[in-house]
Structure 1
Amino acid sequence: MKTNLLKYSVSAAALLIIGSNAMAATPTAAPKTYPAGEVGKMVKLGEDILMHTNTHPLTKDMVGDKLQCISCHIRGSDGKPGTAPGIATFIGTATAFPAYSKREKSVQTLQDRINNCFMRSMNGKRPIVDTKASVAMAAYVTWLSEGMPMKMNAKMPCSPLNSERWMHGAKHFAKIQKRATHANYVNGKKLYEAKCAMCHGADGAGMGTFPPLWGQKNGKWLAYNTGAGMSKLNKGAAWVQSNMPLGQGKTLKDQEAADIMLYVNAQPHADFDLRKALYPASKMGHYNSKVLHEKHSVRSNFKQFGLNVDKIRGDHKIK
């Protein structure tokens, strides 16, 4: 009996030490110093691109809206892109790759993951793997994971700090959104006007440095298209509840977050067509995906949850 208790005590103590070390190994900000030499220069370049994606010389021609990577991967208290603690932090992301992607039905590299975001959230063209911009962005994201243990993700291509939050949030909000009605849309509009419009504009076009959420200006789409994660009623709600209002993440109730994104994603967004977002094979080289045809629209995104966007909005303004 004493022997068993001793074994249990030693095991418990070991678990506490392991848990303590794991917690200590999880950074909450970017490393204090950049790597030396050319690697450090590449990390700094990647950071600059993530901050100014739609205007940076290396990426502006691949962006089809007014967003930057920091629009979703918010700056933390250290001012660095992707270090805010909510869903979509970059911290730990590099430790998960190579990782399986259900969307692409293939094992993805970190460059794949970043570049694919250009087609969706940036409503643009997919950068070519191993080009300077692609390597630089991956170098910066990798730098944010220094000191963390590697654990390749066999289920989804994202940071271990996000995977459970994404999976739980997506399932949880899917159940809520499937019950959505016009009343939820009306409530989402009221909540948006009270909690969001002061930063993102009543018309969703953005205000100052705060990003746009929908619509067009001079014939150019302002925000993410219907292939982006934010365009999905469940994932968008999970992200909003985790991060918004800015600096007040986790203050929105479940139904509030769901209704806000029901309203936002029922507004005009560009259709997504995978084939149009890829460069010709002669220029792009290998596209690491088994899914070569994919299309989405505002209407199809609502249909995914058994919803008719016309009934939700109470009009017929969405094509």
Structure 2
Amino acid sequence: MITVSVDAMGGDHGPEVVLAGAAKSLERHPDLNFVLFGIEQECLPILERFPALKAKSRFHACDRAVQMDEKPSQALRHGRGHSTMWRALQAVKDGEADVCVSAGNTGALMAMAKFCLRTMTNIERPAIAAIWPTLRGESIVLDVGATIGAESRQLVDFSVMGAAMARALFEVERPTVGLLNVGVEEVKGQEEVREAGRLLREADLKSLEYTGFVEGDDLGKGTVDVVVTEGFAGNIALKTAEGTARQIAEYLRSAMSRTWLAQAGYILAKSAFDRLREKMDPRKVNGGVFLGLNGVVIKSHGGTDAEGFAAAVDVGYDMARNDLRAKIDTDLNEFHSRRPAETVAQEVRTAG
């Protein structure tokens, strides 16, 4: 049995979408249990419409929800201990749930998660990992917004954690990992990226296969299982991809409705267009995973619908079922055990 704690008030649409999404995920995974945190008068009437979800859930009434436009510092100051978001995270910390899912304010969720769950040993900063549709299937891209301007050591940590997630999600024994760069040549790019590549080559980890640098067009090709970058570039890449998908969809709608001949062609090729729509549907890959914390946290897109939120719960289910935390812990221990003593000593001196 996998138990998911849910911030029922998170997102642009609140419990109307969140509870419907949880019910959809339960249909796909009957072994799910839920711990729901919400404002009673808003959630309970909606929960009554989903008897199967109600039967598999424990509801905890809260008196505050974090607003989508609330600053992280304000959310942490005013919502710590009693908001729906905090209590959903606390359920993971206390062992009441295996994973937390929220569609709420990203900055507030990250701030609260770091404060409540703390980062894992040897992890300086957490990362947000996104599932990325590719020509080969799916890849993992991180960081997509948690850490701006990551150092080489942090990029290596992201590589190890992303590979662990790929093992949990794709069930790949030794995922391929590439560092996003402005070229594939070893002499190109920022010093931090080149240094991270050197560290990964020298570590020669059993848990991942480092293939070198990858470029922006490799994201869509699915050249590697895991693409690693810092949060500024990763977030821009993510938003660009989402915008491009919407742009292409709008071009197709416009072209198909322009003439009667185009409409007839659409009818004849409808099955092909349906498959394309399915591939381009951002709801199917909704759910960013917070990596590097002492607990699994999934961030759903705030504006998604029930199907999108269900996809985020599905990701959390897979992460918990495949024991993501244990995989990350094992892989990090392997990396740090292989690091030369002089490198560790130099980092300590630099930090001092």
Structure of greater relative contact order (alpha carbons < 8 Å, 6+ residues apart): 2
- The interval holding the TM-score normalised by the smaller chain is under 0.3
* TM-score normalised by the chain length of structure 2: 0.26
Higher helix share: 2
Structure with the higher fraction of residues in strand conformation: 2
